[in-house]
Amino acid sequence: MLHRAAYMLAIVKDHVPSCSGESLFLSLRNDGTMRKIFYDPVVKDLEDRIKSYHLITQQLLWSMADVVGVKDSDFEKNLQLFESRVLKIRRNWSESRRKREAEFRALNLGYDGPDPMEI
């Protein structure tokens, strides 16, 4: 749910004047406790990549909608280009996550808390 909340807030921050800055969240857990989430690296990763993803998604949409000027074969090329761009975003995102986890483990030898994947 954090990804969805971060996505929605990133869109708001991009379109609503004077709405910007660090994203803050309050998570209500199943046991009734709450967790404050601020400067979360998962949120930062999403916010860093959302604009480039939206740009290439819009380019694909306009290419798909131009049924007069863009031949089907050209659209297929655009679709393949979209796929390669999305894969690049995904690979960079995964690499960033693995690097952050490795840094966490290196700084926290003997860590006995939650799995770093959940942090």
Is 98 a residue whose pLDDT tops 80?
yes
The per-residue pLDDT for range 34-63, each reduced to its tens digit, is 988 888 888 888 888 888 898 999 999 999
**Using the 8-state DSSP alphabet, how is residue 31 labeled?**
T
Nearest to 49 by CA among 98, 83, 13, 7: 7
Residues 6+ apart with CB under 8 A from 8: none
Alpha helices in the chain (DSSP H): 2-15, 41-65, 72-107
On whether the pTM is more than 0.75, the answer is no
Show me where the domains of the chain are located: 2-109
